[in-house]
Amino acid sequence: MTTVPSSAFVDRIRKLRSAERQSVSTVMTTVRAAYFGTDTDTELDAAIDDMFDDVVETLEASATPGTRKTSTFARMIHRRKEFEGFSYVPHLNTSPLISVKAPSPCTLRILGITIARGMGLVVGENMAENEVWNHIIDNLPIRDVRFIHIDEFQHVMENRNSLDIAKITNAMKRLVQTPEHPVWLLVTGMPEVGIPFEGETQLWRRKSYVLFEEMTFERHADICLEMINFFATDKANLQHDAFLVPENVQRLMHASLFRLGIAIDVVIKGIRVALKEQATSLSIEHLATAYKAFTGCQASANPFLVRENFSSIEVDKYLTRLLESGKAEAGAKAKGGKA
């Protein structure tokens, strides 16, 4: 039952209206309350369905021993018995390793707060930079931390001058140069994460630095095809004949910025599309549909749909271009110009 708003003012208006006006309003109330759905509603419902399916699949997969983790490094952490007892939840972590992700943007103070909280320490938002790092150093032996993993370390390096880099280098040296409680540093991220460590022998002694090079079609097409076979055929029982065509593998690699992790995500999302259609094979169209949902790109910017020159699509800049284009059009219209 719908409750109609009532007040002395509204009641007075109602009494003063003619029967004809009241009759019109009765119909208009129904009209105003109605909702005209479009294809967008269907797409939104499908996207929300996928989100809830992803919740169930992710939580069930995380409970499965040996499941694929979010990154190569994360898989290594859960695979090595030396890190047994590891958890990203500080109070559950009994491992000598703590693993944190540098937020963006990230100052040295914020990085310190992130590491301290990763150790399960209580730190206030207003703690000074030197206080935070002193707190970390004092508690390393108490918490028995021996390995500190910092992911996305490039966020610490964003827009840093030589003085800032020197401060970052000194902070990292403090972590590893405690004679009574040596600590090893593991840093992951984009290639620029190595800048603070260049030429620092003290840091190289207690730091693991492994470069994951970007894929190239010439050298890594076979690996990408093996990945498609692994997930589509071995795990989802879907044929993958479409990707025996080299161009289609190249489309996937380009669409994924030649990064295997992104390519895996696209393939997994494509598998869901195929399974929902009750298909027996994973097709390029399935990846196109998944990629549209993954990036929000239009057909003209979808590497799986463009027939020619797909490699010229700037996939890493698509969303940025779209937003900037929208702002430019809005500005032109506001000035009375043509978009």
Chain centre distance of CA 137: 31
Region of 104 please: left (phi>0), alpha (psi -120 to 50) or beta: beta
Please give the mean pLDDT across all residues of the chain: 81
Question: Which tens digit of pLDDT belongs to each residue from 263-309?
Answer: 888 998 899 999 989 999 999 999 999 998 888 888 999 999 998 89
Question: Please, what is the angle between helix 162-176 and helix 129-143, to 10°?
Answer: 20
Give the model's confidence band at 3: pLDDT under 50 very low, under 70 low, under 90 confident, else very high. low
User: Of 322, 314, 272, 220, nearest to 302 (Cα)?
Assistant: 314
Give the pLDDT score at 186.
84
How big is the chain, counted in residues? 339
Tokens for 286, please give them: 């399935």
Question: Which tens digit of pLDDT belongs to each residue from 5-44?
Answer: 567 887 888 888 888 888 887 877 777 777 776 777 777 7
Tokens for 274, please give them: 């195929």
* 280: three-class secondary structure by DSSP: coil
Neighbours of 166 (CB within 10 A): 12
Please check the confidence at residue 334 and state whether its pLDDT lies above 50. no
Q: To which H or E segment does residue 208 belong? A: strand 207-208
What are the DSSP E strand ranges found in 95-194?
A: 97-101, 147-151, 184-187
CA distances to 205, 325, 338, 339 from 335, in Å: 61, 15, 9, 10
What whole-number distance in Å separates Cα of residue 149 and Cα of residue 206?
A: 12
Residue 305 contacts residue 288 (beta carbons within 8 Å): yes
